[in-house]
Amino acid sequence: MPRRTLPLVVAVLGTALTTPALAAVPFLNARCPGGIDVHADAGGPVYVQGRQTTLKHVNDRYAEARDAQSGLTVSISTGDDGTPQVSYTGRNGVNGICQVSDSAAAPPPSPAHRHDTDGDAALPNEVTCESTDQRQVSCDMNTRGAVEVSRQLSRTRCEQGVNWGLSRQSVWVSGGCRAVFRNTSSAPRAAPAGDTALESCNARKGDQGTLVTQVPVGSDYQELIIDYSDGRFLCMLRNNGQVQSLTPVRRR
C-alpha cells in the first residue's frame, strides 16, 4: 500500500468508529389498518395487539417482528434522520403501512427504567375497559403478573388474544368486549383493622357508631355496616384508610 494513502484509511476508520449506530428498534407506538396496534420498546421487545412477538434484528436499521397467532410480520425501519417507519404483511397477501404515533418522537426511556416497578405500582390493579362501536381501546393498568377478567360487562364474550390482551402498562379491548380486569398477582394493601376502619368512618360521619359487620370488597376496599344514632349506614373504605362513601341503609 502506498504510504500516502495511509492517512486517508485511518481517517475513514476513525469516522466509522465514532459514528453512532442506529438502534434497529426504536421506542414507538403505531396503528396499522384493521385496528392493529403495535408497540415497541427501545431495542425490543415488540408487541402486536398486546402479544409479545418473535423479534429478528436484520441490521442496525431494520428489524422484523412476527406474531405467530395472527400470522402478521411487522417491519420496522429507521431513516437517516432516526424517523421510524412501520409496515406489515399477513396471511393471504394482506399488507399495509402503519401510522406511527407522534408520541413516539419523545425520547425513549433508558434501559434501566424500561421496567420500572415504581411506575407499575402507580397504576391501578383493577380497571373497567370498554370497546364501544367495536373499536379498540387501551386502558392504563398494572399488568405485571397475572391479569384476568374479574367481571364481564358485555354480551360479547371477552377472550384473551382475540378481543382483549395486555401491553406493558395497559390492557386493550376490541370487538365489543367490555369487562372489569383485575391483576391477581399484586398483593392487596393490608386492610385497616376494625377499630381503625371504624374511626375513619366515624370521623367522616361526625358521630360515634357501632360496627355491625366489616367485609373486604375486591382487593382495594372494605365494606362496613355501622349503627349510628340516626340509623344504619354503609361505609365504603379504601384500604389506605380513605372513606369513599357513607350512605344510609336504614333511618331511625
Largest CA distance in the chain: 107
Give the dihedral sign, CA 186/152/240/202.
Answer: negative
- Please give the pLDDT value at position 193: 59
- Please give the pLDDT value at position 114: 40
Peptide bond into 26 cis (omega under 30): no
- Please give the pLDDT value at position 110: 37
Q: Which long-range contacts (CB under 8 A, 24 or more apart) does 185-189 make?
A: 185/144, 185/145, 185/146, 185/147, 186/125, 186/142, 186/144, 186/145, 186/219, 188/125, 188/219, 188/220, 188/239, 189/219, 189/220, 189/239, 189/240
C-alpha cell belonging to residue 12? 475513514
21 falls in which pLDDT band (50, 70, 90)?
very low
Q: Whole-angstrom Cα distance, residue 239 to residue 188?
A: 8
pTM: 0.37
Q: Whole-angstrom Cα distance, residue 46 to residue 52?
A: 6
Mean pLDDT lowest among 25-34, 140-149, 166-175, 221-230? 25-34
55-76 tens-digit pLDDT: 998 888 889 999 988 888 999 9
Phi/psi for 200 (5° steps) reads: -65, -45
Q: Find the mean pLDDT for residues 114-143.
A: 77
Residue 105 has pLDDT above 50, yes or no: no
29 falls in which pLDDT band (50, 70, 90)?
confident
Residue 106 has pLDDT above 50, yes or no: no
- Please give the pLDDT value at position 192: 59
Q: Whole-angstrom Cα distance, residue 164 to residue 172?
A: 5
